[in-house]
Amino acid sequence: MTIIIFAYREAGLIIFFFWNISLTKMLKLFMLPIIMFLQQEHMTMTTIENVPGTDSLKVLINYNFYEFLKDYQQTLNDDIDIDIFRSRKPFPSDLANNYINSKISINVNGKPLLGKLLKMEKSGENINLFVLFRLKKGIRTLKVSNTILMGLHSNIENLTILRINDFEKEIKFTQQHPEETFSFN
């Protein structure tokens, strides 16, 4: 029995040929391109939450620290050597704050909000960015844009959970869908 398996990879096409092998060996070999393909996914996790009775939105962004550095470099300063920032502990908060405000855009009632970085934590290979966006009035409309890593990867998925009072929604921001608007009455 001859089986041909095609698995798409960013660098090109991988073709595997199998001749007269056992089903177990075939399944093991079949899983390799699938695992390689799944590892290609790039994603971030963001939560945006308004705690009732407060005048702010609390935002938590979590993704790979090295991806953060590469995206920072591409977005704000192509001339820097990211290995310098990789070794600096902690990453300069003013630089991180500028980066966040260039990648996460929140408009409430048609007015843009600026985020303020409260804390950065490195957790293993990931970084957690805690950001506060101050509100001036109650939320009637909310427009969120999340373009983190979109300049680096065409297959990025910025998974975002939005919690406003009793409203909760999961959103997947991609290059084809980088923003969404919500109405609250």
33-83 pLDDT per residue, tens: 454 445 456 789 999 998 777 889 999 999 998 899 889 888 876 666 767
DSSP bridge partners of 172 = 159
List the domain boundaries for the chain.
2-38, 43-183
Residues 142-149 have a mean pLDDT of 95
Confidence of residue 185 (pLDDT cuts 50, 70, 90): confident
Question: How many C-beta neighbours within 10 Å does residue 89 have?
Answer: 7
Q: Which residue has the higher pLDDT, 98 or 2?
A: 98
Residues 89-115 have a mean pLDDT of 90
Report the C-alpha gap between 136 and 111 in whole angstroms.
10
Name the most confidently modeled range: 13-27, 41-55, 124-138.
Answer: 124-138
Residues 81-105 have a mean pLDDT of 81
Q: Is residue 116's pLDDT more than 60? A: yes
Question: Which residues are within 8 A (CB) of 131 and not within 5 positions of it... i.e. 6 or more apart?
Answer: 58, 59, 60, 61, 100, 104, 115, 116, 117, 118
Q: What per-residue confidence (pLDDT) applies to 13?
A: 40
